[in-house]
Amino acid sequence: MNLKLKTLTGATAAALLCSLYLGDVAIAADTPVKAAIGEQAKAEESGRNSQKRIDEMDDAVVGIVASYRQALTETSSLKDYNDQLAVQTASQDEEIAALNQQLAEIDKTAREVTPLMSNMLATLDTFVTLDTPFLPEERAKRIKGLKEMMGRADISVSEKYRRIVEGYQIEMEYGRTLEAYQGKVDDKTVDFVRAGRVALLYQTLDGKETGYWDADAKAWKVDNSYELDAKSGLKIAKKQSAPDFLVVPVHAPVEAK
């Protein structure tokens, strides 16, 4: 009995020793495995981090490429716009040069036209002064207005020229019309009838005196022989009668020298 107990005790001891040995071996073997697993985990974590950085860098590169392409598109558009502006600028430069040339020509024309207008106005003034004295106040006022206009800086040269020519046209029109109006002859109120520039007759309001402008004498001459013609002319001029022939005193023509 005692021997058996000792044997069992020895087996147990051996088993215990074996178990201890295997435990040590297992512990010794488990250490590098855990280390390897830890390294693998670190490698995988590092790989994930690297992939994340790669993905982030890839997204950044995609954004940069998109921005670059957009910049290229905008650059192309700006280049086309600049080219168009360059064409417009060149055209405007040409237009400005043409306008400057025109302004220079206008200044030159103004310098040449101003003396011409002054001569035209002086001639018109002399013509009205020497002409048959019809509508004297109206015509004198027109000449005075034209003279005042010539000294005004706020009126363009073209407008001054237009008004002077208009004055000539009005005077020309007088030579083709029949007109009746009231005025004074030697402080007497009379009716005048003007037949173009051929004749200027007058008749007092009571019809008792008729006369005409004597161009040779440069004076009014009483001549009641034109009484009926003066009355008829006044009615025609006032559109109270149909047009008809009139007998009027005519200035005898003289030979030009």
Question: pLDDT tens, 73-88?
Answer: 888 888 888 888 888 8
Q: Are residues 187 and 232 in the same domain?
A: yes
- Give the model's pLDDT for residue 3: 43
- Whether 128 is in a domain gets the answer yes
Q: Are residues 99 and 114 in the same domain?
A: yes
Distance in angstroms (rounded) separating the CA atoms of residues 227 and 211: 8
- Say whether pLDDT at 33 is over 80: no
Distance in angstroms (rounded) separating the CA atoms of residues 170 and 111: 26
Domain range enclosing 231: 178-250
Strand ranges inside the chain, DSSP E: 178-185, 188-195, 199-204, 210-214, 219-222
- Whether 18 is in a domain gets the answer no
Q: Are residues 154 and 90 in the same domain?
A: yes
Q: Are residues 231 and 156 in the same domain?
A: no
- Give the model's pLDDT for residue 165: 95
Q: Are residues 165 and 188 in the same domain?
A: no
- Whether 146 is in a domain gets the answer yes
- Say whether pLDDT at 99 is over 80: no
For 49, the 3-state DSSP assignment is helix
194 φ, ψ (degrees, to nearest 5): -110, 125
- Whether 8 is in a domain gets the answer no
**Which residue, of 139, 174, 209, is where some domain finishes?**
174
Q: Are residues 142 and 184 in the same domain?
A: no
- Whether 98 is in a domain gets the answer yes
Q: Are residues 210 and 159 in the same domain?
A: no
94 φ, ψ (degrees, to nearest 5): -65, -40
Q: Are residues 165 and 71 in the same domain?
A: yes
Q: Are 209 and 222 in contact (CB under 8 A)?
A: yes
Distance in angstroms (rounded) separating the CA atoms of residues 127 and 137: 15
- Give the model's pLDDT for residue 51: 81
Residues whose CB is less than 8 angstroms from the CB of residue 233 and which lie 6 or more positions away in sequence, other chains included? 178, 180, 193, 195, 201, 246, 248
**Which residue, of 135, 157, 174, is where some domain finishes?**
174
Q: Are 128 and 139 in contact (CB under 8 A)?
A: yes
- 17-26, 102-111, 134-143: which has the minimum mean pLDDT? 17-26
Q: Are residues 144 and 244 in the same domain?
A: no
- 154-158, 168-172, 205-209, 225-229: which has the minimum mean pLDDT? 154-158
Q: Are residues 230 and 190 in the same domain?
A: yes
Q: Are residues 209 and 230 in the same domain?
A: yes
- Say whether pLDDT at 24 is over 70: no
Q: Per residue in 205-226, pLDDT tens?
A: 999 999 999 988 999 999 999 9
What average pLDDT does this structure show over 48-55? 80
pLDDT-derived band of residue 11, with 50, 70 and 90 as boundaries?
low
- 82-91, 105-114, 139-148: which has the minimum mean pLDDT? 105-114
Q: Which comes out higher in pLDDT, residue 111 or 199?
A: 199
Bridge partners of 179, per DSSP, are 194
- Give the model's pLDDT for residue 107: 66
Number of domains in the chain: 2
Q: Are 80 and 86 in contact (CB under 8 A)?
A: no
pLDDT-derived band of residue 19, with 50, 70 and 90 as boundaries?
low
